[in-house]
Structure 1
């Protein structure tokens, strides 16, 4: 695209949310999704799980590129269980009922592969949800938004009306902790706020 900044980072994810978050701090990316088995290992702690997947994605995405590569993974944790993306409407509804009126944790890990090797970070954010009526859950499912979201909701979308407050990083719940990501990019020599210079 004419006038666009050249990519300074490869993003090993198809997530438009992560691409938008990186763009918001001026990082132009080359998108290269990777397909990995995202099943948790037996007795794997949630933080270990998201860090492992973020690292595996970054390494897999970097194999045929000279650009530093970022991988990330997000998990919603409730009662010690990792809530993934809903299989269907009933699964999404069950997850939202379990989260409604309670506090849960969202863990997001980010890993960047580059000249400094593989560097990573994991951020935990506590999310407090108000009670949610079944009719609201049905209406929310009908929007199509919960289909590919961990825990069955998107804090940056329609589900914002369910979230009373958060304790931690909003951008991490969306999909990428920007404060920690910027620090990791700096360690790999990747500039943020990069802009093409007009000629």
Structure 2
């Protein structure tokens, strides 16, 4: 597939997420993946933000600007996701025991995924957007969680909420309200709309 990207300099994704890179590639946008070398938790703490959407947006911007500083002239996409169950925020689990506790806390309840994207170039933010998906997890027993973690493997430890909807994580849910791209961590439709408005796409 030829790229629909119009600029000579390639699009840059400030992430090592395979799901995000796949979404862009499937949309005809080949990109270079350059993970941002930042301390997300320290940045979050220093900002003093508590609202999930503000945290996601702040971290997406920090990633986009950090990579923009080392990739002059490139359009850089930064993305971040926060998971909130009421007022409680969840981070990626540190080990199986924490993953189990997170899943049991989410089981039988509805949580919100806030997915933020920011486009930056040469240290300037050109576009930002936050989308929300509501995720209703089915009731799960400890045995259910054990089977899921055994079968899903360590890959889910890299995901906030301990699931990847494109894989075995789909078994955890009974209802989802939101955009599929938002759930995968890259609200693609508003991003493509911005690229088109900026004259960056051939389609």
Give TM-score scaled by structure 1 length: 0.88
Distance in 1, Cα, partners of 2:127 & 2:62 = 12
Distance in 2, Cα, partners of 1:25 & 1:80 = 35
Distance in 2, Cα, partners of 1:185 & 1:69 = 12
Q: Which residue of 1 aligns with 2:143?
A: 135
Matches within 5 A, 1:158-173: 158-173=168-183
Gaps of 5+ in 2: none
Deviations 1:17-64 (A, max 9, x none): 100011121111011111211113335211110000101111111123
2:87 to 77, 80, 100: 80
- After superposition, the CA RMSD in angstroms is 2.0
Shift of 1:129: 1.1
Matches within 5 A, 1:109-188: 109-114=116-121, 117-142=125-150, 143-144=152-153, 145-188=155-198
Distance in 2, Cα, partners of 1:98 & 1:46 = 18
Distance in 1, Cα, partners of 2:166 & 2:24 = 15
2:26 aligned with 1:24: yes
2:63 aligned with 1:57: yes
Q: Which moved more, 1:143-152 or 1:113-122?
A: 113-122
Q: Which residue of 1 aligns with 2:11?
A: 9
> Do the aligned residues in 2 keep the contact of 1:59 with 1:113 (CA within 8 Å)?
yes
Shift of 1:79: 2.3
Q: Which residue of 1 aligns with 2:104?
A: 97
Q: Which residue of 2 aligns with 1:191?
A: 201
Shift of 1:162: 1.3
Structure 1 runs of 4+ with >6 Å offset: none
Shift of 1:156: 1.4
